[in-house]
Each structure stands twice: as C-alpha cells, then as structure tokens.
Structure 1
C-alpha cells in the first residue's frame, strides 16, 4: 500500500488547482487582482496563460502585448504565445510578423510556431513558402495532428504520394503507441485511416 503525506502547503496547492479546474474564471479574477497589486511581467504572463486556457485568445493577446513592452520585447516564449493567439484569431499577417521575428532562433525549425507560420502563409496565398514551413513538422512519433493537417495540405496541392507516405507512417507508428497515447490520438488516427482510404 502506498501512502502519501501532504503538508498544509501541498493540500492548499491541490485545493487551488481543483478550484481552478472547476471554476477557471476564479483563477483569472485572482490573477487580475495580482496584476492590479503588482503589474509585473510574470503576473501579466500568468494572466495571459489563464485567459488562453479559457479560450479567451483576444484577452490573452492583450496581456502578452502589454508584457512585451519595455525590457522584455524580445522574449521568445511570449512571442510564440502571441503567434499562437494571432493564428487562433485569424490574424495571419501578425502570425507572419511574429514568426519572421523569431525564425532565426535555433528552436524555431520544426516547432509548432513554424507550422502555424506555414498555415498563415497558405492563408495569405503564399503556398510555396507555406509548404517549406509546414514540412519540418513531419517528425516521427510526434506531431500527429499537425502531420495529418500537412497531409491534407499536400493532397490539396495534388501531392498524393507525399501525403500517402505521411499518413502511412502515422498508421504504422500508431501500432506502437502506449495505451495513453492511443487514447489521446484516437480521433486523429481514425481521421488518418479514413483519409488514406480515400486516396
């Protein structure tokens, strides 16, 4: 039998996390009070993160934009969060601007940020550049949803062989997934199987 001993601090933390899951607006309200009390970079980021968790991307973007003013203008993590928010709010020009700002960083290649950059380029009618920025997301045993979207993109461009190769790899990889990952990616894997049958 395994027993866990909680001290009061641990118990308070667990209770706070439980309340935040049940009532996410409480978390946001508490973080707003923290910003009012001390308008720091980290407090703004925490509030932006909480707003994103609730699906309020416009609100989160506003907090990140304020946080980036001053000494933190080039904070890579916040720029990537902004890029995600701009994509989710269909502000493709801003996605492109943010991506080009961080594109020389070593961790940009193959990242979700580069993938969203590619999708934004496609929305702006820049298909060749889009494909160049979408392809690096095709990494084995990861990025299943993004790779599925890449395969759809390639199919739309008439590159059936390339799309089929990606889809086949995903199906093969799914056979070696752990049970939690199989459950997590079940929807994407089912869509991949449907798509490969239609090619």
Structure 2
C-alpha cells in the first residue's frame, strides 16, 4: 500500500478513535501496526455488523444474482405477504426477467392493494420493457389522475406508448408534461427527438438549449451521471 495512503488511513482511524473516545490501546494498535491495525480498527469499530452484512449480500448478489431471487422466493413461500411478493418482483425485474416480474406485480395487486400506486408504476415500466404498449396505457390510465403522475417517468412511458400506437397528439400532450427544469434530462432529450421527428425543430432546440444551460449548474455527481445525455444533447442541437 502506498505510504501516503497508510498515513491517511492511520489519520482517519486516530481521528475517529479520539472523536468517539475509544480505549487508549487502539492508538497503539493503529500506530504500531499501521496497515493491519487500521484495518482491524475499521472492521471492528467503524463498520458495524449490519454494514458488513449488507456489503456481503451485495457482493453475493453481483456474483450470483439468482441466489437473491431464490432467497426471496423462499421468504414468499414462508409468508405470502404483499411486501414479500413485491420484493421478489423487484428482484426479477432487476435481473431482466420482466415477464415473471410482471406476474408477481399483478398478483400483488389484489384486495386492498388493487390500486397501489407504487406497484402500478413498476408495472408500467415493466410492460414498457417488453413493448406491450396497450398494457402500459391500461395501467397508466389507472393512475393518471394522481398528482405524483404528472412529470413522472410513468407519464413518460405512457406518452411513448401512445406514440407507438399512433396517438401522436395525446402522446405529445403527455410528453410535454415531463419537460420540467433541472430534472428528467434523459426524458427531455427523448422529447426533443420526438419534436424533431414531428418537424417541430423550434420546440426541440428550446429543450436542448435548456438542458445544456442547466448542465452548467449541475453538481459534480450529476455531471458524471448525465454525461452521455449532455454529450448527445450537444450533438443533436448542432445537427438540428
């Protein structure tokens, strides 16, 4: 390990030990066993068991994603509850198994949960993934009166589904509502493409210019997150 990293690690551990009034022997462990002592301190005094369990679970899920699904299926078999079924459906969706995820989401929508907003939003996204646009529209129209629907990704999927089924005017009406400043960058970029396809270059340029302007005020994290969107926005604006 590079020397400066060892010093930084020791410094953090000493600072943490002082701040949290740890027993004096930890200072000897950290100072006289620089690498091993600092690692032992981090594992036993900084990270709690819950943190380590979460990290371990995440690693296992990456290496063996089917294990998470099997474990959640066992939980559901043991206790057939709404939340257990939704958890399983979420895991199936994350793995790309949209068809089975849809089956579980729809099964969850029964009784008092038949109009659950969160599950219906997930169904809209899942049906969009498998390009079943009639179902996207069906579920979107069950929640389109909700205040949280306006400007949401669900509304975006709804608009795209309407366009795919030849309902361009209704599609534009829905898609325009996702054009909200300092948010929905990828969706607004797609809206600009929609306008270009319809020959409405002025509307497209306005949206693209706004995205570029807003990108100047993004945090570093968001600049990284939306780097491709910004890059594509600049390219599309130059071409349009």
**SS state at 1:107 partner:** helix
- Per-residue deviation, residues 120-146 of structure 1 (Å, max 9, x unmatched): 000010000000000111111111100
Q: Distance in 2 between matches of 1:165 and 1:42?
A: 43
The alignment status of 1:14 with 2:55, answered yes or no, reads yes
- Equivalent residue for 1:147? 188
What RMSD in Å do the two structures reach over aligned CA positions?
1.3
Residue 155 of structure 1: CA displacement? 0.6
Alignment correspondent of 1:182? 223
Q: Which residue of 2 aligns with 1:158?
A: 199
1:23 aligns with 2:64: yes
Could you say which structure has the larger radius of gyration? 2
CA positional deviation for 1:59: 1.5
Which residue of the partner structure matches residue 50 of structure 1? 91
Alignment of 1:66-85 (within 5 A): 66-85=107-126
Alpha-carbon distance in structure 2 between the residues aligned to 1:146 and 1:17: 29
Report the Cα distance in structure 2 between the residues aligned to 1:90 and 1:173, rounded to whole angstroms: 32
CA deviation profile, 1:30-50 (whole Å, cap 9, x unmatched): 111111111111111001111
Q: How far apart are residue 70 of structure 1 and its match? A: 2.4
* Runs of 4+ residues over 4 Å off in structure 1: none
Deviation of 1:194 (Å): 1.0
Partners of 2:114 and 2:207 in 1: CA distance: 38
Q: Using CA pairs under 8 Å that are at least 6 residues apart, name the structure with larger relative contact order, 1 or 2.
A: 1
Cα distance between partner residues in 2 of 1:13 and 1:119: 37
Matched, 1:137 2:137: no
1:87 paired residue number = 128
Structure 2 unaligned segments of length 5 or more: list them: 1-11, 17-44
Tell me what 1:105 maps to: 146
Q: Hey, what does 1:172 align to over in structure 2?
A: 213
Moved more, 172-181 or 94-103: 172-181
TM-score, length basis structure 1: 0.95
